C-alpha cells in the first residue's frame, strides 16, 4: 500500500509561539518532495510533525491530522514509537552514535528494537549500507568508530541507520547543509535512487538542490505553506508573488 | 602596553601559573613520599596475608582489613551506584522544573553533611534495629556518602551528551527509556565511571562513619550482618595505640590504602580509554 502522506489542518506551537498555521498538503508516495523556505519559516517543524518528533521538544504542541502510508499518525491509540519505525529521519548534522562502531550504528534501530540474531543484523547492515551507497567504502571498516569517518560518510551511515529498519517514508532535514559539494552530490544521487522504494521528504535551503532531486516542492513562509506544486512549475512559473520573490532571491 | 612589557608580563604569569600547578601537586607527592618513608618497611607479604597479632606479639598483618575494605567498597557501590546514576539521569532529563531543582539542592546538602553524621544516621536506622554492628551498616553509610558525588557527576555528564543523539535514537523508533539507557548513558559512560572512581576513592578512606557501623574486627569477616574490619579503622586503632610496631603497621596500612585508591582509579582510566569513548 502506498498512498503517501496526507496532512490536514496541521498547526504547531512551541510554547505560546504558533509556528505552523493550518498546513494542508498531499505528498505523493514513492517520490521526492522538497520543502523550501527561509530560515525560521517552519519547514523543519513541519517534517518533524510528520513523525511526531516535534513533541519531543518541551512545550511543543500539535493539532490537526497526518495520515502517512495508511497510518493515522496522531490517532489517540498510536504510539510515537510505531510512527517513527515507519517514518525514518535524517538530520542536518550527521549524528552517528559515538560509542558505537559503523556496524552497530547501522543496526542500532533493529538491535534496540529487539533483534538479536547476528545473521539477520549482518544482512540488514549490508543491505542498508548498499542502499546508502556506502558499502564499498566501509565494508572493511565496519568495526571502526562511526565518528572516525568523514562527514559525508557519517551522514550516509545515518541514512543507512534510518533505512535499516525498513521505513516507508524517509524525512531528511537539510541533509547536506553540513557537507561539501562532493558529499552533497553523493547524497543527492542517493536520494534519486531511493525514491523508487520510499516516500521522501527533504527540507533544503538550497533551491538548486530542490530542483535537482524533487518532483514536487512546497514553499513555506512564516509558518504557512504558500505554494505547493510540481517542482519545475514552481520554479519556472510560480503562482504566488511571494514564491517568485523568494526563488528569484529578492528576500530570504 | 608595549610589546616588550607585554612579553614580560606573559613570562611572569606563565611562571606563576606553573608555580601554582607545582604547589597543588606538592602535597600529594609529600604525602606519598612520607608514607613510603614511614610505612614501606612494614609492608611485606605477611602484611597482606596475615591477621593482626595479639597485643605484645610482633608481626602479623592487615589482610582482614584489606579484604574488609574491598568488601565494604563493593557493597557500597552496589547499593549506591545504580540509584545515584539513575537519579543523575533523571535530573538531567526531567522536563519538570521544580522537583529536579529540589533534588539537586538536597544532593548538594547531603554532600556537605559531615561523614560522622552519616555514620550516626546509619547507626540509628540499621545498627540499632539489628542490635549489632555490621558490614551492611558500614556499606550503607559509605553508599550515602557516595550518592551525591555520583548523582552530580552523572547529571553533568548526561547533560553533555548532545541532544542530537537522543533525537537520532528516538527517530529510529526506539522507546525513550531505551534511548536513555542504551544511547545517552552509554555515551556518558566514560565520564560517569571517572566520577564513580572519585566517589569510591573518597569513601575508601572514610573512618568516622565506620566507627559505629562496621565497627572493625580483628578476624576475617563472618558475614555481612557481622562487624567487619576496614583499613581506615585499623589504621586509626593502630595509630593511637602505644606500641611502635603498631605505629609502623598503621603507616603501612595508610600506604596500602593510597595504593589501593591509585590502582582502582588507574584501572578505571585504562578500562574506559577504549576506542569509542563518548563524553568525559
Q: What is the mean pLDDT of chain B?
A: 88
CA nearest neighbour of A148 among A117, A103, A182: A103
Residue B52 confidence class, pLDDT cut points 50, 70, 90: confident
| Per-residue pLDDT reduced to its tens digit, B25-51 | 999 899 989 988 888 888 888 888 888
All 3 cell numbers of residue A208?
538548486
Total tally of structural domains belonging to chain A: 1
Does A252 reside within a domain?
Answer: no
CATH code for the domain in which residue B105 is found:
1.10.3720.10
The per-residue pLDDT for B220 is 84
pLDDT at B271: 73
User: Is B59 a residue whose pLDDT tops 60?
Assistant: yes
Residues B31 and B75 reside in one and the same domain: no
Cell digits for B151? Answer: 548523582
Mean pLDDT by 10 residues, chain A (252 residues): 84 93 93 92 93 91 92 92 94 92 94 90 94 90 89 93 94 91 90 92 92 94 93 92 88 59
Residues B32 and B76 in one domain: no
pLDDT of residue B136: 92
Same domain, B265 and B247: yes
Instruction: Assess whether B255 and B199 both reside in one domain.
Output: yes
Confirm or reject contact between B181 and chain A (CB < 8 A): no
Q: How many CB pairs under 8 A join A and B?
A: 79
ipTM of the complex: 0.89
Q: Are B225 and B135 in contact (CB under 8 A)?
A: yes
CA distances from residue B242 to A53, B59, B238, B239 in whole angstroms, order as listed:
71, 16, 8, 8
| A15 contact B CB<8A | no
B161: contact with A, CB 8 A cutoff: no
User: Does any domain span residue B254?
Assistant: yes
Residue A166 lies in a domain: yes
DSSP state of B240: T
Domain span at residue A76 reads 5-247
Q: How many domains does chain B have?
A: 2
Residues B24 and B56 in one domain: no
Q: What share of chain A is helix, strand, coil (3-state, %, to 5)?
A: 40, 25, 35
Grade residue B276 by pLDDT with cuts at 50, 70 and 90. low
Task: Express each pLDDT in B158-199 by its tens digit.
Answer: 999 999 999 999 999 999 999 999 999 999 988 898 888 889
C-alpha cell at B29: 607527592
Domain that holds residue B85: 45-272
Tracing cell 537539510 back to the chain, one arrives at A174
Tell whether B139 and B231 lie within a shared domain.
Answer: yes
Whether B100 and B13 map to the same domain: the answer is no
Residue B247, all three cell numbers: 605505629
State the CATH number of the domain containing residue A63: 3.40.50.300
Q: Are B12 and B102 contained in the same domain?
A: no
pLDDT tens digits for B202-252? 899 899 999 988 888 888 878 888 889 899 999 999 999 888 888 888 999
Q: How far is B133 from chain A (nearest CA, A)?
A: 44
- Measuring CA to CA, how many Å separate B229 from each of A180, B205, B212, B221? 64, 13, 12, 7
Q: Which of A133-142, B97-106, B108-117 has the lowest mean pLDDT?
A: B97-106
Residues B126 and B71 in one domain: yes
* Nearest beta carbon to residue B171 from set A88, A101, A112: A88
Q: Among B88, B277, B172, which residue's Cα sits nearest to residue A124?
A: B172
Q: Three cell numbers at B171?
A: 527517530
Please check whether residue A146 lies inside any domain of the structure.
yes
Assess if residue B278 is contained within a domain: no
- Given a contact cutoff of 8 angstroms between Cβ atoms, the answer to whether A160 and A101 are in contact is no
A157 to chain B, closest Cα gap in Å: 12
The strands making up A17-27's β-sheet, listed across from edge to edge, are A17-27, A5-14, A60-68, A71-72
Is B280 domain-assigned? Answer: no
Residues B110 and B204 in one domain: yes
Q: For residue B152, is pLDDT > 80? A: yes
Q: How confident is the model at residue B278 (pLDDT cuts 50, 70, 90)?
A: low
Domain presence at residue B127: yes
DSSP state of B124: I
Amino acid at each position: 500500500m502506498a498512498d503517501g502522506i496526507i496532512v490536514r489542518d496541521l498547526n504547531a506551537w512551541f510554547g505560546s509561539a504558533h509556528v505552523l498555521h493550518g498546513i494542508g498538503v498531499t505528498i505523493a508516495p514513492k517520490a521526492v518532495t522538497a520543502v523550501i523556505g527561509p530560515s525560521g519559516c517552519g519547514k523543519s517543524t513541519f517534517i518533524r510533525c510528520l513523525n511526531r518528533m516535534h513533541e519531543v521538544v518541551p512545550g511543543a504542541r500539535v493539532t490537526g491530522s497526518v495520515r502517512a502510508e495508511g497510518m493515522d499518525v496522531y490517532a489517540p491509540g498510536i504510539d510515537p514509537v510505531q510512527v517513527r519505525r515507519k517514518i525514518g529521519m535524517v538530520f542536518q548534522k550527521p549524528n552517528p552514535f559515538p560509542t558505537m562502531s559503523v556496524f552497530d550504528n547501522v543496526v542500532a534501530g533493529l538491535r534496540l528494537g529487539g533483534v538479536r540474531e547476528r545473521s539477520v543484523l549482518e544482512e540488514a547492515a549490508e543491505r542498508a549500507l548498499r542502499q546508502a551507497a556506502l558499502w564499498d567504502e566501509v565494508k572493511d571498516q565496519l568495526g571502526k568508530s562511526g565518528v572516525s569517518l568523514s562527514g559525508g560518510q557519517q551522514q550516509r551511515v545515518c541514512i543507512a541507520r534510518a533505512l535499516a529498519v525498513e521505513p516507508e517514508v524517509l524525512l531528511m532535514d537539510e541533509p547536506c547543509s553540513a557537507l561539501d559539494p562532493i558529499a552533497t552530490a553523493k547524497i543527492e544521487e542517493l536520494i534519486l535512487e531511493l525514491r523508487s522504494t520510499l516516500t521522501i521528504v527533504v527540507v533544503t535551503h538550497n533551491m538548486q538542490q530542490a530542483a535537482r532531486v524533487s518532483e514536487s516542492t512546497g514553499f513555506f513562509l512564516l509558518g504557512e505553506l504558500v505554494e505547493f506544486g510540481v517542482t519545475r512549475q514552481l520554479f519556472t512559473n510560480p503562482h504566488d508573488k511571494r514564491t517568485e520573490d523568494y526563488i528569484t532571491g529578492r528576500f530570504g | 602596553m608595549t610589546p616588550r612589557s607585554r612579553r614580560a608580563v606573559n613570562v611572569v604569569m606563565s611562571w606563576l601559573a606553573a608555580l601554582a600547578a607545582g604547589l597543588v601537586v606538592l602535597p600529594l607527592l609529600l604525602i606519598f613520599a612520607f608514607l613510603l618513608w614511614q610505612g614501606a618497611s612494614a609492608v611485606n607479604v605477611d602484611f597482606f596475608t596475615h591477621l593482626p597479632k595479639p597485643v605484645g606479639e610482633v608481626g602479623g598483618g592487615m589482610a582482614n582489613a584489606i579484604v574488609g575494605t574491598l568488601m565494604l567498597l563493593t557493597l557500597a557501590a552496589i547499593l549506591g551506584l545504580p540509584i545515584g546514576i539513575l537519579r543523575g539521569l533523571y535530573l538531567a532529563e526531567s522536563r519538570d522544573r521544580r522537583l529536579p531543582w529540589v533534588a539537586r539542592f538536597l544532593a548538594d546538602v547531603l554532600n556537605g553533611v559531615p561523614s560522622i553524621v552519616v555514620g550516626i544516621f546509619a547507626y540509628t536506622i540499621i545498627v540499632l534495629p539489628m542490635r549489632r554492628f555490621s558490614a551492611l551498616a558500614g556499606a550503607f553509610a559509605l553508599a550515602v556518602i557516595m550518592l551525591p558525588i555520583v548523582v552530580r557527576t552523572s547529571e553533568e555528564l548526561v547533560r553533555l551528551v548532545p541532544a542530537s543523539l537522543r533525537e537520532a535514537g528516538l527517530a529510529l523508533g526506539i522507546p525513550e527509556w531505551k534511548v536513555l539507557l542504551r544511547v545517552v548513558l552509554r555515551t556518558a559512560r566514560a565520564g560517569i565511571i571517572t566520577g564513580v572512581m572519585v566517589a569510591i576513592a573518597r569513601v575508601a578512606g572514610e573512618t568516622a562513619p565506620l566507627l559505629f557501623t562496621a565497627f572493625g574486627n580483628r578476624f576475617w569477616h563472618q558475614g555481612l550482618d557481622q562487624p567487619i574490619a576496614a583499613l581506615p579503622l585499623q589504621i586509626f586503632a593502630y595509630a593511637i595505640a602505644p606500641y611502635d610496631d603498631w605505629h609502623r603497621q598503621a603507616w603501612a596500612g595508610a600506604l596500602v590504602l593510597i595504593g589501593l585508591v591509585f590502582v582502582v582509579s588507574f584501572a578505571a582510566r585504562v578500562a574506559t580509554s577504549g576506542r569509542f569513548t563518548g563524553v568525559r
